[in-house]
A and B are shown apart, each in its own frame.
Chain A
């Protein structure tokens, strides 16, 4: 089954404690991206990757890092989480730009 898998689904952490949210897709897609979703603000892109070792900033990259060492994985790293990073995060992948993007089930992160 074609899917995008994120882990964990829920996470509560404390300010400053480094965390990683994993994302994996099994569709051999080149393009992957991370979004955060906040009430009234819709989905905002954090980072995207056009292919292995190619990443670039989206609209709200501050406080986040990503890596793309393998085609299927695109982890989101929060080196020093802060409460304003409390949000619902989605990973997405697509074969290339200008095509349908598939989304994971989301990771609800709470930073206290």
Chain B
């Protein structure tokens, strides 16, 4: 079946360093991808999105890269701060008429002081 997965369950970085969180997807028909951040005790919050007609999109301190050839998505966080500590999920709307927003299992980002 279709799946969205993550390479690493936990990522530890030093404050001020850049973080890279990876995500693999298997549905080649997917045309819209979203990164969410979930802090402890809260619901997922939108960070950034990208459509399949783009390779890169930048926000404030965050960049999402999409490689459709290898079905890979990454979230880059510049100058990681303690407030960035959270679980990060990639999600995709399954294309081809699909009506599901499907999530990966998540990556725990820990920022060390």
Contacts and interface: CB of A to CB of B under 8 A. Distances in A.
B31 A103 contact: no
B100 A58 contact: yes
A94 B37 CA distance: 17
A20 B31 CA distance: 34
Interface residues of B, number: 23
Residue of B41, B91, B101 most packed against chain A (CB within 10 A): B101
B101 A92 contact: yes
Interface in B42-65: 42-46, 49
B25 interface: no
B101 A45 contact: yes
Interface of B: 31-32, 34, 36, 41-46, 49, 89, 91, 93, 98-106
Contacts of A59: 100
A101 B92 CA distance: 11
Contacts of A33: 101
Contacts of B34: 100-101
A64 interface: no
Contact of A43 (B32, B41, B89): B89
Say whether chain A's binding surface is mostly helix, strand, loop, or mixed: strand
Contacts of B91: 43, 101
Interface of A: 4, 31, 33, 35, 40-45, 48, 50, 56, 58-59, 90, 92, 94, 97-106
A104 B32 contact: no
The 8 closest A-B pairs by CB, nearest first: A103-B43, A42-B105, A43-B103, A98-B32, A98-B93, A103-B44, A42-B103, A100-B46
A58 B103 CA distance: 12
A17 B46 CA distance: 35
Contact of B105 (A4, A41, A100, A105): A41
A88 B46 CA distance: 19
A35 B102 CA distance: 10
A41 B44 CA distance: 15
Contact of A90 (B31, B43, B46, B100): B43
Contacts of A4: 43
Contacts of B36: 103
